[in-house]
Amino acid sequence: MSLVVPTMAEMMAKGEAPEYLFWVGCSGSFDDRAKKITKALVKILNETKVSFAVLGTEESCTGDPAKRAGNEFTFQMQAMMNIQVLDGYEVKKIVTACPHCFNTLKNEYPELGGNYDVIHHTQLIQELINQGKLTLKGGGTFKGKKITFHDPCYLGRANDVYEAPRALIEKLDAELVEMKRCKTNGLCCGAGGAQMFKEAEKGNKEINVERTEEALETSANIIATGCPFCNTMMTDGVKNFEKEDSVEVLDVAELIANAAEL
């Protein structure tokens, strides 16, 4: 099944306006691993006939890493340019699979004049399942498996979203196991605050190794995340322990797309 990915420009040319703008984000657009998450989400959106579009080449970095790194200039330049584009298309609702984009668009754009109803993809998927628009067909691939959920800081502590991703995992035919540090106490993967783009400062351990160790202690077969950066960090962590053959790192959207046989 080929993906249907309309752009805002195409929609506008046809005189249409989608319900949601899908904000793909830089990871989701360019990172090979994260692209798979993007596609899994599009499959779900296509299957459930959600009216959406992407900005495509008109999308640009939200400015999140610049702001966390302390460069407010770069952040605000990006934000204002993005707001011009978003307002040009009269965007009302935004869904995104990146908690960093989610946080920035939701919490930091309003003060610069960009007011949108922003949700994380796990929240939208939960809504679609609750509305009966998406049914999970058995989800046989997860039978008897243990899944642990790693809370992305910018989804959890930063925005108090803890339940949506867990509710989705619980819909699978699998067991949700929690790590010692979870929800409000969740441990960072090590990528936030622009750390994704630099080497860690001097220490005695990598943060993603510390976190992966904890995830492996649950003896989970799958480490689920809801953030492309966390995904990269946890995948690297699993490789560090040479467990890539027995432990998968997957986004919640991928789990659901898989269970719905999309």
Show contacts with other proteins in window 216-255 (CB under 8 A). Answer: none
The residue to which tokens 């009269």 are assigned: 90
Binder among 28, 139, 165, 228 for other proteins (CB under 8 A): 28
Contact at 8 Å (CB) between 165 and 227?
no
Q: How far is the CB of 27 from other proteins (least distance, A)?
A: 9
> Looking at beta carbons, which pairs linking 154-157 to residues 24 or more positions away fall under 8 Å?
154/99, 154/100, 154/102, 154/103, 154/192, 154/227, 155/99, 155/102, 155/103, 155/120, 155/122, 155/226, 155/227, 156/183, 156/184, 156/186, 157/184, 157/186
71/240 with CB nearer other proteins: 71
* Binding of other proteins by 103 (CB under 8 A): yes
42/247 with CB nearer other proteins: 42
Give the total of residues touching other proteins (CB under 8 A).
71
Q: How far is the CB of 103 from other proteins (least distance, A)?
A: 4
* Binding of other proteins by 157 (CB under 8 A): yes
Contacts of 58 (CB under 8 A, 6+ apart): 7, 8, 9, 85
Q: How far is the CB of 143 from other proteins (least distance, A)?
A: 28
Show contacts with other proteins in window 56-75 (CB under 8 A). Answer: 56-57, 59-61, 63, 65-74
Report the interhelical angle of 121-130 vs 32-47 (nearest 10°).
30
Residue 172 carries which DSSP code? S
Which tokens hold the place of 132?
A: 């009966």
* Binding of other proteins by 91 (CB under 8 A): no
Binder among 111, 117, 170, 261 for other proteins (CB under 8 A): 111
* Binding of other proteins by 206 (CB under 8 A): yes
52/142 with CB nearer other proteins: 52
Q: How far is the CB of 208 from other proteins (least distance, A)?
A: 9
Return the number of other C-beta atoms located less than 10 Å from residue 16's C-beta: 12
The span of 90-98, 116-124, 131-139, 186-194 binding other proteins (CB under 8 A) equals 186-194
37/129 with CB nearer other proteins: 37
Contacts of 114 (CB under 8 A, 6+ apart): 79, 82, 83, 86, 87, 105
The span of 122-130, 135-143, 166-174, 205-213 binding other proteins (CB under 8 A) equals 205-213
Q: Given its phi and psi angles, is residue 18 left (phi above 0), alpha (psi -120 to 50 degrees) or beta?
A: beta
* Binding of other proteins by 83 (CB under 8 A): no
